[in-house]
C-alpha cells in the first residue's frame, strides 16, 4: 500500500484533504501576487522559488490523491 493509501483509507477523507490542499495552493498563490516585483529593491527571487516549490509539491500530492480516487471509483 502506498503512503496515501496508508494515511487515508476513506474516500470522503481523501476528498476533504484534496479540498484543503487546493485551498493551500490558492493561499500561496495569493501571497505570490503580493511579492515585490522584479523591478523593486525589495525583490528577493528566493521567496518566489520557495513558494513555487511549495505549490508544485502540493499539486503533486493533489494529483496522487486524484489518481487514487479515480482508481477507487473505477473498481
pLDDT higher than 70, residue 15: yes
Per-residue burial over 17-42, b if 16 or more Cβ lie within 10 Å, else e, is bbeebeeebeeeeeeeeeeeeeeeee
Calculate the average pLDDT of the chain: 85
Q: Can you spell out the DSSP letters for 31-66?
A: HHHHSPPTTSTT--HHHHHHHHHHHHHHHHHHHHHH
Q: What are the pLDDT digits (tens) for 27-57? A: 999 999 898 888 988 888 899 999 999 999 9
Output the pLDDT for position 53: 95
What is the rounded CA–CA span in Å between residue 54 and residue 69? Answer: 23
Output the pLDDT for position 9: 61
Amino acid at each position: 500500500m502506498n503512503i496515501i493509501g496508508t494515511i487515508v483509507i476513506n474516500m470522503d477523507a481523501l476528498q476533504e484533504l484534496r479540498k484543503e490542499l487546493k485551498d493551500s495552493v490558492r493561499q500561496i498563490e495569493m501571497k505570490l501576487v503580493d511579492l515585490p516585483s522584479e523591478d523593486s529593491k525589495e525583490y528577493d527571487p528566493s521567496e518566489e522559488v520557495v513558494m513555487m516549490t511549495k505549490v508544485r509539491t502540493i499539486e503533486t500530492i493533489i494529483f496522487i490523491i486524484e489518481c487514487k480516487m479515480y482508481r477507487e471509483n473505477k473498481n
